[in-house]
Chain A
Amino acid sequence: MARSIHPRVLAGRIVVAVVFIGLWEGGARLGWLDPFFFSRPSAVMSRVWQQLAEGTVWPHLGITVVEAALSFVLGSVAGIAAGFVLGRSRLLGDIFGPYIQIANSLPRVVLAPIFLLWFGLGIWSKVALGVTVVFFIVFFNTLKGVREVNPVLLDNARMLGATERQLVRHVLLPSALAWIFSSLEISVGMSIIAAVVGEYLGSTQGIGYLIAQAEGVFDTTGVFAGMVFLAAFVLVVAAVVGRVERRLLHWRPRPAETPQA
């Protein structure tokens, strides 16, 4: 079930890309932009191509993918579980509420050096950083989803004989799924950002490490090439999440049925 893109939208997107890249390339060639600071799209793409051809980028990309995937999975599972428990129990919600707010208000970047000390230069310090980011996004959305379940649906299922476990499976989880999914989309991006930031601040491998290395020698082309790899990766993951979401939420009225401009 692929969403078809309106030709006008597609044309608009291509125009934006062509104008942006054209101005950048032209500006650099005509000397308006200093290639030392801004590089050139053609140079960036040839660097991307070179890194792909030589295969040097794959181990780094692989490390970043593993870190992001681990923090995404661990963070969302913990966030969904905690959201359900605190959403269903007023008492626990009231007890832990303020502490979760406090923990969430911490800027994650200041935690990164601490995680480096605790978990070392390897992947686990990045995973820990990513989990602290993903957990709260998923947790707050799950909590809201669970608390905003239509009480009539709950009463109806209970009158039909549902146990608490059955309520979770048949009513609460499907009902909160729309909320959870909107948080997962954001979390995918955030888990990648957290992995790269973690690598940037201290590591020996990963896309963030590549970017930090390139910056260390003022190699702007290398920095942009790293960003291109990240962008491609994020687009692929977002498409996968979108597919899974449409599959699991197939019962919803199709957006195509609502009038569109």
Chain B
Amino acid sequence: MPAALQFSSVSKRYDSGYEAIEGISFTVEPRRFISIVGPSGCGKSTVLNLAAGLLTASAGRVEVFGEPLAGLNRRAAYLFQQDALLPWKSVLDNAALGLELRGRAPDAAQDWLRRVGLEAFSTRYPHELSGGMRKRVALAQCLAVQPDLLLMDEPFSALDIHTRLRMEQELLDWVGTAGTTVLFITHDLEEAIALSDEVLVLSAGPRSHLVGRYEIDLPRPRPLLDLKTEPRFAEIYRAIWHDLRGEVIRALGDHPGGKAHG
């Protein structure tokens, strides 16, 4: 089976002349959970948007299940960092949006709403839900179309710490049972290690490149509440942080005052 996603020496230079990433190569095998971590402004989102087909590479090749990517990635679903639910549609209509656009029945959406625990809120509107609930609806929307690849851009960064831990645990259960391939972007190394099979470290921008690649050999299923106190977790964390630390310092040095962007 070909890789779900393959980047071969991919670079992206924006029209403004800004070179976000340079010569990035990695492979996402089916049913794997891969995270990309890096300091703020390192071009993590650029990588994800290239994988989604929302951006096109300036150089290099992006392949999806063995085919060169042209236009939008039709086999992927994208969970955005920002709220992307349509405020004028009910919870159920939002969850079923992908199915409706493809002319399919909304049964799978109802099913996913039940799994994310929001069946009772089907007829509500997004503004009546909390941030965590809206994320669940967005996740149900993505998973209802049964994507071969799930792209996630810091999906939980706006949530409070407890909601976040719960969402991470549930995400692991859901993608575990559905066998979904995931490419996950975060600046939080603990989150990346806890969730992933493999963590890729991106250097500070501009011209970000991959500086490290770590196989996470923690056994599954992973109980996240206790995972972070395990010695093996700390060991992995120290090893990756060794690489990441330098990049974070470089990113801060480039932007005195520590102003984050991108």
Residues of A within 8 A of B (CB): 152-153, 155-163, 166, 170-171, 174-175, 177, 249, 251-253
Contact = CB atoms under 8 A, between A and B. Distances in A.
Nearest to A249: B88
Contact of A155 (B80, B88, B100, B145): B80
A158 B86 CA distance: 13
Given A160-B141, A160-B145, A170-B89, 8 more contacts: A155-B54, A156-B84, A159-B73, A161-B74, A161-B102, A171-B86, A249-B88, A251-B127
B72 interface: yes
Nearest to B71: A158
Interface residues of B, number: 26
Interface string B23-47: 0000000000000000000000000
Contacts of A156: 78, 80, 84
23 contacts: A152-B80, A152-B82, A152-B83, A153-B86, A155-B78, A156-B80, A157-B97, A158-B54, A159-B52, A159-B54, A159-B73, A160-B98, A160-B145, A161-B145, A163-B101, A166-B101, A170-B89, A170-B101, A171-B86, A251-B88, A251-B89, A251-B90, A252-B127
Nearest to A253: B127
A171 B94 CA distance: 11
A155 B141 CA distance: 14
B86 A170 contact: yes
Contact of B125 (A152, A170, A177, A251): A251
B117 interface: no
Interface in B53-95: 54, 72-74, 76-78, 80, 82-84, 86-90
Interface of B: 52, 54, 72-74, 76-78, 80, 82-84, 86-90, 97-98, 100-102, 125, 127, 141, 145
B212 to A, nearest CB: 29
Contacts of B84: 152-153, 155-156
Nearest to A251: B88
A158, A160, A166 — most chain B CB neighbours (10 Å) = A160
A162 B82 contact: no
Nearest to A166: B101
B101 to A, nearest CB: 5
A162 B73 CA distance: 12
Contacts of B73: 159
Contacts of A251: 87-90, 125, 127
Residues of A contacting B: mostly: helix
A152 B86 CA distance: 10
Given A152-B80, A253-B127, A157 B101 contact: yes
B101 A162 contact: yes
A246 to B, nearest CB: 13
Contacts of B74: 161
Given A152-B80, A253-B127, A174 B101 contact: no
B101 A160 contact: yes
Contacts of A158: 54, 72
A174 B145 CA distance: 23
A159 B73 CA distance: 8
Contacts of B87: 251-252
B72 to A, nearest CB: 6
A171 B101 CA distance: 12
Contacts of A159: 52, 54, 72-73, 76-78
Contacts of A162: 101
A107 to B, nearest CB: 38
A12 to B, nearest CB: 32
Contact of A161 (B52, B80, B98): B98
Contacts of B90: 251
Contact of A170 (B82, B97, B102): B97
A156 B81 CA distance: 11
A175 B88 CA distance: 8
Contacts of B76: 159
B86 A174 contact: yes
A150 to B, nearest CB: 8
A252 B90 CA distance: 11
A96 B72 CA distance: 30
Contacts of A170: 86, 89, 97, 100-101
A152 B85 CA distance: 9
A251 to B, nearest CB: 4
Contacts of A155: 54, 78, 80, 84
Contacts of A249: 88
A105 B14 CA distance: 38
A160 B97 contact: yes
Contacts of A174: 86, 88
